[in-house]
Amino acid sequence: MGPVTEEKLAKFGITDVYQFMSHSPQEIRDMTGIDADTAVNYFAKARQALLDNQKIDKIKQTGNDIKKKRTNLKRVTFGCKPLDDLFLGGIETQALTEIYGEFGANKTQICHHMAVRTQLLEKDGGLSTEENPAKVVWIDTEHTFRPERIEPIAERFGLDPDKVLENIIVFNVRNSVEQQMQLEETEKLIREDNVKLIVIDSLMGLFRNEYLERGMLSVRQSRVNKFIGLAARFADVYNICVLVTNQVSSNPDGFHIEVQAIGGNVVAHTSTYRVFLKKSGKNRIARMIDSPHHPDGEVMFKITGIGIMTIEEAEKYEKEQKKEQAKVKAAETRAKNKNKKGTLDEETVELSGIAIIDNGHSEIQI
């Protein structure tokens, strides 16, 4: 294209072919003022350039082409057997995994857990190599990323918490335009910085708040489409994992209440895997709702202070925690007693080697 058009696109942050292709011809026309035929022509050229450079796949592929591509597929494991079984080994690269459920269903907790697990070495279930630690981009629309949740999970899996935090790049976005722009800018990080997981928590929150009126629905859906389409393309082209959370709406349907992920068909069709999280007391149920190759099924798990566990592991861990807490409390009580004038407990005497001389006065001489 000519330098004038190029300059106009640059003003909108479009500086390469990928970014160009992630917009619709209509949007390109609005940005540059070029006519419809020219826009379509640019798209054809851009697509050809990406195909020639093997940056995107041919639309027509043989079964073997796809099989070959899927041999590059990698997984981040949960390190929790029932969930790894449900996901047939963990969340996949080249895929967009959507977890949805009501508030407090543990969507954000799972994101914290997986942001740590991604940084494990490949042999341990993550996507790091000795030379190249895996990084995570977290697009936080709810401002619920918490370093203090990451640290104990990192320690549990033998990772240095400071390094793990350093490798998570968090973008606190405040509106859906920023959400879109931040995702676009993430492409540079993926290419240059070994980003292996993109967390989007949550996908629809800002869109839902900003497009409240019914009349705005189609505009909203076209923006959501653009956003989620780009995220899915990153997963596919760069062989990385994309994990998105989504909220639910409840529709009374005859005798029961139907709980659905929001975002409509646009989200449903773009997500490769959809998993529904349900509360069951303090435990959680994860159900595979939609997958091209996973059998339907559901499993139970529990969130603890150090991340996801099976119910049995969590019970054992919580018992040990209680014991630890009781020990700490006992030590505190002893320490308090030590400070009381005239009282020294036996342990203090023993540890310090202090000799106590009872000189017959009311105060003890030591």
Ligand X SMILES: Nc1ncnc2c1ncn2[C@@H]1O[C@H](COP(=O)(O)OP(=O)(O)OP(=O)(O)O)[C@@H](O)[C@H]1O
Enumerate binding residues for Mg ion (CB under 5 A): 107-108
Q: Applying CB under 6 A, does 255 fall inside the site for ligand X?
A: no
- Provide the minimum distance between the beta carbon of 126 and ligand X in the complex, in angstroms, as a whole number: 21
Q: 3-class DSSP state for residue 1?
A: coil
Residue with the two structure tokens 């330098």: 3
Vertex 163, ends 161 and 164: CA angle to 5°? 60
Rounded distance between C-alpha atoms, residue 138 and residue 145, angstroms: 8
Cβ proximity to Mg ion, 46 vs 244, nearer residue: 244
Helix-strand-coil split of the chain, %, nearest 5: 50, 20, 30
Instruction: Figure out which of the listed residues 32, 93, 97, 108 binds ligand X, where binding follows CB under 6 A.
Output: 108
> Which partner from the list ligand X, Mg ion, none does 106 bind, CB cut-off 5 to 8 Å by kind?
ligand X
- Provide the minimum distance between the beta carbon of 299 and ligand X in the complex, in angstroms, as a whole number: 17
Rounded distance between C-alpha atoms, residue 220 and residue 192, angstroms: 32
> Residue 303 CB: number of other CB atoms within 10 A?
19
What would the DSSP string read from start to end of 36-68?
HHHHHHHHHHHHHHHHHTTSS--SS--HHHHHH
Q: Applying CB under 6 A, does 106 fall inside the site for ligand X?
A: yes
Rounded distance between C-alpha atoms, residue 120 and residue 159, angstroms: 8
Residue 15 · residue 185 · CB < 8 Å: no
Q: Applying CB under 6 A, does 325 fall inside the site for ligand X?
A: no
Rounded distance between C-alpha atoms, residue 279 and residue 123, angstroms: 32
Q: Applying CB under 6 A, does 13 fall inside the site for ligand X?
A: no
- Provide the minimum distance between the beta carbon of 329 and ligand X in the complex, in angstroms, as a whole number: 19
- Provide the minimum distance between the beta carbon of 104 and ligand X in the complex, in angstroms, as a whole number: 4
Q: Applying CB under 6 A, does 281 fall inside the site for ligand X?
A: no
Cβ proximity to Mg ion, 89 vs 147, nearer residue: 147
Q: Applying CB under 6 A, does 291 fall inside the site for ligand X?
A: no
Cβ proximity to ligand X, 184 vs 201, nearer residue: 201
Contacts of 365 (CB under 8 A, 6+ apart): 356, 357, 358, 359
**Residue 167 corresponds to which tokens in the numbers above?**
């490798």
Classify each residue of 232-255 as buried b or exposed e, where b means 16 or more C-beta atoms within 10 Å of its C-beta.
Answer: bbbbbbbbbbbbbbbbbeeeeeee
Cβ proximity to ligand X, 183 vs 203, nearer residue: 203
Residue 116 · residue 159 · CB < 8 Å: yes
Rounded distance between C-alpha atoms, residue 260 and residue 279, angstroms: 15
- Provide the minimum distance between the beta carbon of 201 and Mg ion in the complex, in angstroms, as a whole number: 6
Instruction: Figure out which of the listed residues 59, 103, 254, 362 binds ligand X, where binding follows CB under 6 A.
Output: 103
Q: Applying CB under 6 A, does 109 fall inside the site for ligand X?
A: yes
The one segment of 51-59, 105-113, 183-191, 336-344 that binds ligand X by CB under 6 A: 105-113
| Residue type present at position 137 | V
Q: Which secondary-structure segment (H or E) carries 138?
A: strand 135-140
Instruction: Figure out which of the listed residues 104, 296, 321, 356 binds ligand X, where binding follows CB under 6 A.
Output: 104
Q: Applying CB under 6 A, does 32 fall inside the site for ligand X?
A: no
Q: Applying CB under 6 A, does 107 fall inside the site for ligand X?
A: yes
Cβ proximity to ligand X, 17 vs 308, nearer residue: 308
Q: Applying CB under 6 A, does 303 fall inside the site for ligand X?
A: yes
Closest to 224 (Cα-Cα) out of 286, 269, 162: 269
Cβ proximity to ligand X, 93 vs 106, nearer residue: 106
> Which partner from the list Mg ion, ligand X, none does 297 bind, CB cut-off 5 to 8 Å by kind?
none
Residues in the chain: 366
Q: Applying CB under 6 A, does 105 fall inside the site for ligand X?
A: yes
> Which partner from the list Mg ion, ligand X, none does 128 bind, CB cut-off 5 to 8 Å by kind?
none
Helices (H) and strands (E) in the chain, counts: 15, 13
> Which partner from the list ligand X, Mg ion, none does 105 bind, CB cut-off 5 to 8 Å by kind?
ligand X
Q: State the residues that interact with ligand X by CB under 6 A.
A: 101, 103-109, 142, 247, 303-305
